[in-house]
Amino acid sequence: MLCVCVTGLQAGCDGRSLNNPYPARDDNRNILYSEFSERPKHLDPIRAYSSNEYVFLAQIYEPVVQYHYLKRPYELVPLAGTQVPTARYLDKDKQVLSNDAAAEDIAFSVYDIEIQQGIRYQPHPAFVRNEQGDLRYHQLSNEELEKIHTLSDFKQTDTRELIAEDYVYQIKRLAHPRLHSPIYSVMADYIVGLSEYADILKKANNDKQGKEKDKQANLDLQQYDLQGVKVLDKYRFQITIKGKYPQFVYWLAMPFFAPMPPEAEQFYSQPGLIEKNITLNWYPVGTGPYMLAENNPNLKMVLQRNPNFHGEPYPHEGDKGDIEAGLLKDAGKALPFIDKVIYNLEKETIPYWNKFLQGYYDTSGVSSDSFDQAIQFSGEGEATLTDEMKDKGIKLLTAVTTSISYIGFNMQDKVIGGDSERARKLRQAIAIAVDIEELISIFANGRGIPAQSPIPGGIFGHVDGEAGINSYVYDWKNNRPVRKSIEQAKRLLAEAGYPDGRDEKTGKTLLLYFDTAMPGPDAKAYLNWLRKQFLKLNIQLVIRNTDYNRFQEKMLKGTSQIFRWGWNADYPDPENFLFLLYGPNKKTDGNGENAANYDNASFNRLFEQMKAMDNGVNRQAVIDKMLEIVRHDAPWLFGYHPKGFSLHHAWYSNSKPNLMANNTLKYKRIDTALRLQKRQQWNQPQFMPIIVIMVTLLALLIPGVLSYMRKERHVSKGQIKS
């Protein structure tokens, strides 16, 4: 109480809100406040693959291309490159082919990439050179190491120009035996010589480790050449990939292909720094608009404007409606607009949500705990903000994500799997019976679109309207897809040999198993709901709930039967969804991404054809055929494409959902004066309840004190009497 009073007096003097978690000196500063709930595991762009890692990395590292912030469908534009790379095609004799050459004739695709001149890295000790021109901090003595605990303890920093060699070096790192890049195996299938290069590095690494008896011994990748990736000159490099793979250019927009200065890796490979957690995996070095100024994942992570940023203008053009939405007001202005971003550790959603409402966070998602407080649905089913949110000037942004949540059938299972008519009809019947619309309404607060195929809206191959519905599950009525009746599902079930849910041969009730690793009370409600969906067909669904590890093991061994799974797109191409059903990607064959272990020869053949095609009528026709096969075979119950909801305050502008780009921080703007005014308005301290509590406590003491005094008097009198 005393402390409240002291801090209260303090606040009274400077007029600040008492519950403001930030220091007074930051009140008027151009700082964005955000949160993270789990610390990023990797900040080395060769390893990072999670959204909570990309939140930081995408602002720091600059690949050659990026997604246009405003235009839809998603479009690649240059970032560090001078233009979006296009492929030259060669046949097996390295003869140049025309751009419209047949995919089977193309043996190699060659990408010549040119980067912009004059781009410089963020200030970093790895670039500091002494008078002799040697790198100053690359051979630190024990004495020097004693004084170093974080990267900021290095007194000097320097920079250097970005060169093509840095991109080549990063591509070489894909094959580094100790870095475990998650996309190595995918890239080894495409980049010429990458798998051979990995073998060379593996041998070199073993030799070096054996010689130096050090597991962390630095491997100098510049000593070894990678056949398919070459430096052409200071600002140009070349990547050669096998065959035709148009999706490759999308990979170039990911941090895996961001530049890495070799001196940074050499700097961080010093054993003394590794022991102190000062590693490339912890302290990134980039050319982007921001740099990681503080990395304390136990408390906060801070991105600060990179003083060496080369500059980039806000987009001049956007999508339909962007001008009206005020998204082009800053057209042509230099990015970034925000000076600093502080990400605070928030493990629980309740404090995070309340701080957002108090104005101490600028943006927020909508968790299930706060959904009813924030969102209401209009008569037409459209999500809008509640009056409380509108009064605060909060804005809502929604977007259908480029992802899918589905229920899969293990196609290797004897009952539910396989390509027999019996199993297929059983799966189709279940697909009708499980009411995905109800699932979205109950368990996702209406935040989702029932999936008609694996491809979500906004990705080439997705077809809206009647032509795009899954005709095995839906009918087109009144201009919208309507789920087929349960009678039709029962009919299919009977045709499958399970009339009224009983095996016609044995007469026993059909028993199916749902494998899951879902914890918590929400899971129980979901699993009960799912059981009821199967009961519509008189099928008994047995839930085999286990821990995550056992579940993963079952999936790998192919011993699951029905399961829930999902996928979030890497890039906006149908290949990135349809490969989830491509036979050679079966999970049981070495942990591929085909969790249902679906393997249909026609589908596989069409997939291989579609993969190498450019977007157009022909590719759409192939995709349509593939979708027809997969809808007919029903290895998945397609589930839904989740809809993302995000909220932001009135002082936060230039916000447009972009589900492919992660480097959107540079476009955002904050009106700090409005923020400060609203924070003070919303957080006036209320001292009266504290005063009332203190007075009540004092009042309660009075009878006690009186009673004590009476008792003492009584004792004294007794003593006098006696």
Partner 1 sequence: MMAYIIRRILYAIPILIGVNLLTFVLFFFVNSPDDMARMHLGDKRVDDTAIQKWKSEHGYDKPLTYNSKAQGLDTVTDTIFFEKSVKLFVFDFGQSDDSRDISYDISQRMWPSLIIALPSLIVGLLVNITLAMLLAFFRATYIDLSGVILGVVLMSISSLFYIIGGQFLMSKLWHLVPISGYDTGFDALKFLLLPVIIGIVGGIGSGTRWYRTIFLEEINRDYVRTARAKGMSEIKVLFKHVLKNAMIPILTGVVVVIPLLFMGSLITEAFFGIPGLGSYTIDAISSQDFSIVRAMVFLGSVLYIIGLVLTDISYTLVDPRIRLE
Three-state secondary-structure class, residue 707: helix
Site for partner 1, residues 64 to 123, rule: CB under 8 A: none
- What token pair was written down for 646? 């995000």
**Binding residue for partner 1 (CB under 8 A) from 279, 441, 540, 672?**
279
Site for partner 1, residues 680 to 719, rule: CB under 8 A: 683-687, 689-690, 703-704, 707-708, 711-712, 715, 719
Task: Please provide residue 61's backbone torsions phi and psi, each rounded to the nearest 5 degrees.
Answer: -95, 150
Residue 177 interacting with partner 1 (CB under 8 A): yes
**Binding residue for partner 1 (CB under 8 A) from 173, 355, 641, 678?**
355
Give me the 518-557 binding string for partner 1, x by CB under 8 A, dash otherwise. -----------------------------xxx--xx----
Residue 182 interacting with partner 1 (CB under 8 A): yes
* Count of C-beta atoms within a 10 Å radius of residue 694: 12
* Count of C-beta atoms within a 10 Å radius of residue 252: 23
Task: Please provide residue 76's backbone torsions phi and psi, each rounded to the nearest 5 degrees.
Answer: -80, 140
Q: What is the 3-state secondary structure (H, E, C) of 170-209?
A: HHHHCCCCCCCCCCHHHHHCCECCHHHHHHHHHHHHHHHH
Part of the chain binding partner 1 (CB under 8 A), chosen from 118-126, 129-137, 180-188, 374-382: 180-188
Residue 480 interacting with partner 1 (CB under 8 A): no
Cis peptide before 177 (omega within 30 of 0): no
Residue 347 interacting with partner 1 (CB under 8 A): yes
CB nearer partner 1, residue 555 or residue 670: 555
Residue 50 interacting with partner 1 (CB under 8 A): yes
Q: Smallest gap, in angstroms, from Cβ of residue 591 to partner 1?
A: 5
Residue 183 interacting with partner 1 (CB under 8 A): yes
CB nearer partner 1, residue 352 or residue 636: 352
CB nearer partner 1, residue 345 or residue 449: 345
Q: Smallest gap, in angstroms, from Cβ of residue 2 to partner 1?
A: 10
Residue 49 interacting with partner 1 (CB under 8 A): yes
**Binding residue for partner 1 (CB under 8 A) from 66, 344, 561, 655?**
344
Annotate 342-364 with b (16+ C-beta within 10 A) or e (fewer).
bbbebeebeebbebbbbbbbbbb
- What token pair was written down for 447? 């935040």
Q: Smallest gap, in angstroms, from Cβ of residue 42 to partner 1?
A: 8
Q: Residue 476: beta bridge partners?
A: 481
CB nearer partner 1, residue 673 or residue 715: 715
CB nearer partner 1, residue 18 or residue 135: 18
Give me the 584-623 binding string for partner 1, x by CB under 8 A, dash otherwise. ------xx-x------------------------------
Residue 395 parent element (H or E):
strand 395-400
Q: How many residues does the chain have?
A: 722
* Count of C-beta atoms within a 10 Å radius of residue 95: 9
Residue 152 interacting with partner 1 (CB under 8 A): no
Alpha helices per DSSP H over 194-293: 194-212, 248-251, 262-268, 271-275
**Binding residue for partner 1 (CB under 8 A) from 3, 467, 699, 720?**
3
**Binding residue for partner 1 (CB under 8 A) from 29, 147, 155, 178?**
178
Q: Which of 438, 430, 444, 441 is nearest to 473 (CA)?
A: 430
CB nearer partner 1, residue 75 or residue 348: 348
Q: Smallest gap, in angstroms, from Cβ of residue 201 to partner 1?
A: 12
**Binding residue for partner 1 (CB under 8 A) from 13, 14, 15, 23?**
23
**In which region does residue 277 sit, left (phi positive, over 0), alpha (psi from -120 to 50) or beta (all else)?**
left
CB nearer partner 1, residue 421 or residue 547: 547
Residue 298 interacting with partner 1 (CB under 8 A): yes
Residue 243 interacting with partner 1 (CB under 8 A): no
Residue 21 interacting with partner 1 (CB under 8 A): yes
Cβ neighbors of 710 (< 8 A, separation 6 or more) are none
- What token pair was written down for 446? 């209406």
Q: Smallest gap, in angstroms, from Cβ of residue 366 to partner 1?
A: 18
Site size for partner 1, by CB under 8 A?
67
CA distance 94 to 528: 60
**Binding residue for partner 1 (CB under 8 A) from 82, 116, 304, 358?**
358
Q: Smallest gap, in angstroms, from Cβ of residue 61 to partner 1?
A: 18
Three-state secondary-structure class, residue 648: strand
Part of the chain binding partner 1 (CB under 8 A), chosen from 326-334, 633-641, 662-670, 677-685: 677-685
Q: Smallest gap, in angstroms, from Cβ of residue 262 to partner 1?
A: 21
Residue 348 interacting with partner 1 (CB under 8 A): yes
Part of the chain binding partner 1 (CB under 8 A), chosen from 175-183, 430-438, 607-615, 658-666: 175-183
Part of the chain binding partner 1 (CB under 8 A), chosen from 12-20, 123-131, 493-501, 531-539: 12-20
Q: Smallest gap, in angstroms, from Cβ of residue 301 to partner 1?
A: 12
Cβ neighbors of 109 (< 8 A, separation 6 or more) are 87, 88, 89, 90, 240, 241, 242, 243, 244, 245, 248
CA distance 60 to 44: 11
Q: Which of 546, 47, 453, 69 is nearest to 284 (CA)?
A: 47
CB nearer partner 1, residue 350 or residue 525: 350
Q: What is the 3-state secondary structure (H, E, C) of 449-491?
A: EECCCCCCCCCCCCCCCHHHCCCCCEEEECCEEEECCHHHHHH
**Binding residue for partner 1 (CB under 8 A) from 215, 316, 414, 505?**
215
Part of the chain binding partner 1 (CB under 8 A), chosen from 3-11, 162-170, 222-230, 379-387: 3-11
Q: What is the 3-state secondary structure (H, E, C) of 156-176?
A: CCECCECCHHHHHHHHHHCCC
- What token pair was written down for 340? 């600093």
**Binding residue for partner 1 (CB under 8 A) from 82, 116, 185, 615?**
185
Residue 372 interacting with partner 1 (CB under 8 A): no
Q: Tell me the C-alpha to C-alpha distance, in Å, between residue 91 and each of 94, 102, 219.
A: 5, 10, 35
CB nearer partner 1, residue 43 or residue 163: 43
CA distance 407 to 450: 12
Residue 350 interacting with partner 1 (CB under 8 A): yes
CA distance 473 to 609: 27
Task: Please provide residue 124's backbone torsions phi and psi, each rounded to the nearest 5 degrees.
Answer: -155, 140
**Binding residue for partner 1 (CB under 8 A) from 84, 101, 103, 186?**
186
Q: Residue 313: beta bridge partners?
A: 334
CB nearer partner 1, residue 309 or residue 579: 579
The letter for the amino acid at 302 is V
**Binding residue for partner 1 (CB under 8 A) from 299, 601, 699, 720?**
299
Cβ neighbors of 156 (< 8 A, separation 6 or more) are 125, 128, 136, 137
Task: Please provide residue 627's backbone torsions phi and psi, each rounded to the nearest 5 degrees.
Answer: -65, -35
- What token pair was written down for 478? 């009144």
Residue 7 interacting with partner 1 (CB under 8 A): yes
Q: Smallest gap, in angstroms, from Cβ of residue 567 to partner 1?
A: 9
Cβ neighbors of 280 (< 8 A, separation 6 or more) are 43, 44, 264, 265, 268
The residues binding partner 1 (CB under 8 A) are 3-4, 7-8, 17-21, 23, 38-39, 41, 49-50, 177-178, 180, 182-186, 215, 274-277, 279, 281, 296, 298-299, 344-348, 350-351, 354-355, 358, 360, 547-549, 552-553, 590-591, 593, 683-687, 689-690, 703-704, 707-708, 711-712, 715, 719
